[in-house]
A and B are shown apart, each in its own frame.
Chain A
Amino acid sequence: MIESATFHVMTTELVVGSFALAGLCFVLHSFLIFQNKDSKFMPMMDTTAHIALLFGLLALPFAILSGINSSPSGAHTSPLLANKMLLSTAGGGLALGVLYARWKMHSDGFSQHIHNAFGSISTGCMLLTASLGGTYTRADSLTEFLPFVKENTLLLPKWMSIAVIVLIIAALVLRRSSTVKHG
C-alpha cells in the first residue's frame, strides 16, 4: 500500500507541473494579445492554459487530502501547514473560477488580460504552496525570503468564514437571477 506522503509527492508534482504550464501559457497569451498581432499561437496558448489548469485542478483534491493524511498531527498544528491549506484552496478557487468563466462566459467581452491575471495568480498560489511544502519537509526552499508565511497565519473566526461563504453564494445567486430581464 502506498504511503500518504509518497502519494502526496506524486499528486503535488502533477498539480505543480500543470499549474506552472497553465501560468506560463496565461502570461504568454496576454503577451501575444498585448502585441496585437494575429498569431496562431494565441488560441493555442489559451487552450493549453485552460486544459493544463483543468488537469491541475483535477489532481488538486488528491494533493490536499494526501497532504492532510501525511501530516501526523494535522494542518492545524503548524502555521506553515495552515498557510499551505489556505493558499491551495485560494488557488483552487481562482482556477475553478477561471475555468468556469472560460466555459460559460467566454464571449462576454470581458478583459482577457484580467482573466489571464486570475489564472496566473492561481498558478502563483500553487507554486507558493509547493514551495512551503519544501520548507516543511526539507527546511529549504526558494521562498525563504518570506518568513511570515512560515510563522504566522491569518485565521478568521468561524462566524466570519461562514459569513464570507454565505455572502459570496448570495451574491452569485443574486447576480444570476438579475441577469433575467423582466417586463
Chain B
Amino acid sequence: MKRKLVLLITLSLLIPLHVSGNPGGVGNGLENMQCGGACHGDANQNATSNLQLSLQPSGTVWIGQPAEITVQISGFESHNVDQIGIFLLSSTNANGDIPTTDGWSILSDGMGGSNNYIEYASIDSAVLTHSWILRADEIGEKMLYVSVHHGDNSGSDAGNPFFGISQAFAITVEPIPENLQRINPEYEPPTSREIGESTKLCLETIAAGNVIIEWREPSGQAYQLETTQNNECWEAELPAALTTSTIEWRAVLEGEGPQQTTPWFSLVSAEPTWEADETALLLQSIAHLVLFFGLVLLVRKPKPRDSEFKDYLEENI
C-alpha cells in the first residue's frame, strides 16, 4: 500500500503538465517590464521575440502638452500570434520603469484607460500600429522603449512564451513658447464612458482665441462641433454611442501663434460596469464570517457548564 502511494506520488510529479502563459492575457494595466517575463509564469521560459518594434512621436513634444507616441510592430510572419501585450516603458530596469515614474503622464492608452500596458486580442494586419497620448512634465531628453510579450501557435515554438524589447528611442521635450495657445497642463481628457451617454467636454486652454473640436470614428471622416466659451473653458458635447465603440476627438486651437492641433484622443464607450453597494458587501462579508463561525458551534450539542464538576463528584463520591 505504502509503496503504491509513493509510486503514485512520484509518477504524478514526473508527468509534465501542459503549461502555457496567460492564455487569456492579464488585462490592460500599469505594468513594469518585469511582467513581460513573470506574467508568463516564469521569466526563464521566455524566448526572444522576432517582432520589429519602433516608436516615434507624431510631432514636437512640448512640456505640459499632450503628445502622441505611436508604436509600430511588424514581423508577424515570423510568429503565429493571436494575442499580444504591448508595453510602453521608460527604462529596462524591469521595475519602476512605467513612464509615469520618469516625468510622463499617461493621458490615454487608446483603449479607454491610462495604462502603459495594453493587450490586443487579435492581430488583423501585418503591421500593428498603436498610439498613446502622453504629457511630459519636464524639459529635456527622455528615453522610451516599447516591449511586447506574446505566444506562438505554430511549429516547434507552439506554446512558448516570447518577449521582446526595442532599442531606446530618445524623445526631446521642448519648452513651450510663452504666448502659444495651448491646453491647460492640468487638463485630463475623458478616456471612457457608458453606452448611450453623451460627453460634455470642458477644455481648459491658455492664450487661445478660438477652439474648434473635431470628432471621428477611428480613421473616419471628421465632424466639427460647436464650442462655447465659459471663462477659460471651451465647452462642446460629443454625441452618445449606441454600441460598444471608440470615437476620437481633438481640438484645434487658434491664437496669436501658429494654429495648434492636439492629438486625437480616444474615447471608448462600454457597457455599464457592474457595481455593488460597498457597505452591503462589507456587511455581508462580516455576516458570512459570523454565520459560518456560529454554524460550526451551534450544530454541536450544548454541554452543561457544571458537567465537569458533576463528573468529578460522581467519580469521587
Residues of A participating in the B interface, judged by any CB pair closer than 8 Å: 74-79, 82, 85-86, 89-94, 96-98, 100-101, 105, 108-110, 114, 118, 137-140, 153, 155-158, 160-162, 164-165, 168-169, 171-172, 175, 178-181
Of B24, B273, B286, which is within 8 A of A77 by CB? Answer: B273
Given contacts A94-B296, A180-B306, A155 and B277 within 8 Å (CB-CB): yes
With contacts A100-B296, A158-B280, A160-B287 known, what are 15 further pairs, Cβ within 8 A?
A85-B281, A89-B286, A93-B292, A94-B296, A109-B301, A139-B24, A139-B26, A139-B27, A155-B280, A155-B281, A158-B283, A164-B287, A165-B290, A168-B291, A180-B305
Of A91, A155, A165, which is within 8 A of B276 by CB? Answer: A155
State how many angstroms separate the Cβ of B41 from the closest Cβ of chain A. 9
Assess whether B283 is in contact with A90, with CB atoms less than 8 Å apart.
Answer: no
Let me know if B3 is at the binding interface, CB within 8 A: no
5 chain-A/chain-B pairs, Cβ below 8 angstroms: A86-B281, A92-B292, A93-B288, A98-B296, A108-B303
- A161, A175, A178 interface centre (most CB from chain B within 10 Å): A161
Assess whether A175 is in contact with B298, with CB atoms less than 8 Å apart.
Answer: yes
**Chain B residue contacts of A162, Cβ below 8 A:** 283, 287
Of B23, B275, B281, B293, which is within 8 A of A97 by CB? Answer: B293
Inter-chain residue pair count (beta carbon < 8 A): 145
Assess whether A86 is in contact with B285, with CB atoms less than 8 Å apart.
Answer: yes
Assess whether B22 is in contact with A75, with CB atoms less than 8 Å apart.
Answer: no
Assess whether A140 is in contact with B296, with CB atoms less than 8 Å apart.
Answer: no
State how many angstroms separate the Cβ of A69 from the closest Cβ of chain B. 14
Separation of A171 and B300 alpha carbons in the complex (Å): 13
State how many angstroms separate the Cβ of B210 from the closest Cβ of chain A. 38
State how many angstroms separate the Cβ of A144 from the closest Cβ of chain B. 10
**Chain B residue contacts of A178, Cβ below 8 A:** 302
Question: 10 tightest A-B contacts by CB?
Answer: A139-B24, A97-B296, A93-B292, A168-B294, A161-B283, A161-B287, A93-B289, A89-B285, A93-B293, A89-B288
Given contacts A89-B286, A97-B292, A158-B279, A140 and B274 within 8 Å (CB-CB): no
**Chain A residue contacts of B281, Cβ below 8 A:** 75-76, 82, 85-86, 155
Separation of A169 and B278 alpha carbons in the complex (Å): 23
Separation of A162 and B274 alpha carbons in the complex (Å): 24
Of B26, B286, B294, which is within 8 A of A138 by CB? Answer: B26
Q: How many residues of B are counted as interface, with CB atoms below 8 angstroms from the partner's CB atoms? A: 39
- B278, B286, B290, B301 interface centre (most CB from chain A within 10 Å): B290
Let me know if B16 is at the binding interface, CB within 8 A: no
Separation of A109 and B293 alpha carbons in the complex (Å): 19
**Chain B residue contacts of A157, Cβ below 8 A:** 280
Assess whether A101 is in contact with B296, with CB atoms less than 8 Å apart.
Answer: yes
Separation of A164 and B279 alpha carbons in the complex (Å): 15
Let me know if B9 is at the binding interface, CB within 8 A: no
Of A85, A138, A164, which is within 8 A of B22 by CB? Answer: A138
Separation of A181 and B307 alpha carbons in the complex (Å): 9
Separation of A74 and B292 alpha carbons in the complex (Å): 24
State how many angstroms separate the Cβ of A124 from the closest Cβ of chain B. 12
**Chain B residue contacts of A140, Cβ below 8 A:** 22-24
Separation of A160 and B280 alpha carbons in the complex (Å): 9
Given contacts A138-B24, A165-B287, A180-B305, A76 and B278 within 8 Å (CB-CB): yes
Assess whether B296 is in contact with A118, with CB atoms less than 8 Å apart.
Answer: yes
Q: Which of B126-183 contact A (CB under 8 A)?
A: none
Separation of A49 and B25 alpha carbons in the complex (Å): 36
Assess whether B286 is in contact with A161, with CB atoms less than 8 Å apart.
Answer: yes
State how many angstroms separate the Cβ of A10 from the closest Cβ of chain B. 14
**Chain B residue contacts of A86, Cβ below 8 A:** 281, 284-285, 288
Let me know if B297 is at the binding interface, CB within 8 A: yes
Separation of A129 and B296 alpha carbons in the complex (Å): 20
Separation of A162 and B306 alpha carbons in the complex (Å): 33
Given contacts A97-B293, A165-B287, A77 and B275 within 8 Å (CB-CB): yes
Separation of A168 and B291 alpha carbons in the complex (Å): 6
Assess whether A101 is in contact with B277, with CB atoms less than 8 Å apart.
Answer: no
Separation of A164 and B305 alpha carbons in the complex (Å): 27
Separation of A161 and B278 alpha carbons in the complex (Å): 13
Assess whether B25 is in contact with A139, with CB atoms less than 8 Å apart.
Answer: yes
Assess whether A92 is in contact with B289, with CB atoms less than 8 Å apart.
Answer: yes
Separation of A138 and B35 alpha carbons in the complex (Å): 12
Separation of A76 and B303 alpha carbons in the complex (Å): 41
